Structures are given as C-alpha cells and as structure tokens.
Amino acid sequence: MDTLNEWFTDHLYITFIIIYLFMTYVYNKVFRVKKLPLLKALIVYVLMGVGAFMLLIFQVDAKLPIVLCLSVAIFLMLLVRIRYFVEGRQKKQASKTQNHS
C-alpha cells in the first residue's frame, strides 16, 4: 500500500486527474438530478476541480487514501447498479411466468 501512495506522490498530474474523474462520476451518478445550464455546470465543475486539488493535497501530504476511498465508493455504486439490474430481470421473468400461467 505504501508503494501505491509513493506512486501517487510521484505522479501528481495523473493523481489529480484520477481524483477529478472519480469525483465527477460520483457527482453525475448520485447528486445531479437535472441538467444544469452551461454556466452553472461550468461553475460546478470548476469548483470540483478546486475540491480535487484539495483532496490531492490530502492524498500527497497527509498520506490519506483519497483515491482508494473514491475507488471503493465507485465500486459500491457499481454493485448497487448490478443489483438493480438483476432484480429488474427477475421481476420481468416473474411477470412473464405469471402472464403465461
């Protein structure tokens, strides 16, 4: 784990991009309920860039596992989507068997 933190410290630009992309993914999948006007969306993404820079500082200087935590959050979101997909398929199959009976 320590070598991973060293890699993130050695590659600051890549770490910043990873953090920013993970943050925007979480924002778009969880918090965005409707499409914003262009200027407001631009402001939101610029502020997320500022937040990503702050998280980069926490990742590099404080040695906090920011990228790992964001990765776990995205993995859990993926698990929830898979679960909803499987439940939807099961409901469709159940309704098909009830209609044919």
Contact 15, 71 (CB under 8 A): no
Quote the tokens at residue 58: 């926490």
Contact 56, 7 (CB under 8 A): no
* The pTM of the whole model exceeds 0.75: yes
> Cα 100 to chain center, whole Å?
41
pLDDT digits (tens, 9 = 90+) for 31-89: 888 899 999 999 999 999 999 999 999 999 998 999 999 999 999 999 999 999 999 88
| Structure confidence at residue 96 as a pLDDT band (50, 70, 90) | confident
Please report the pLDDT score of residue 41 as a whole number: 93
Domain ranges of the chain: 2-100
Return all residues near 60 (Cβ < 8 A) that are at least 6 apart. 8, 9, 12, 15
Quote the tokens at residue 86: 């499987």
| Residue 8: burial class (beta carbons within 10 Å; 0-12, 13-18, 19+) | buried
Largest Cα span, the chain: 64
Say which amino acid occupies 93: Q
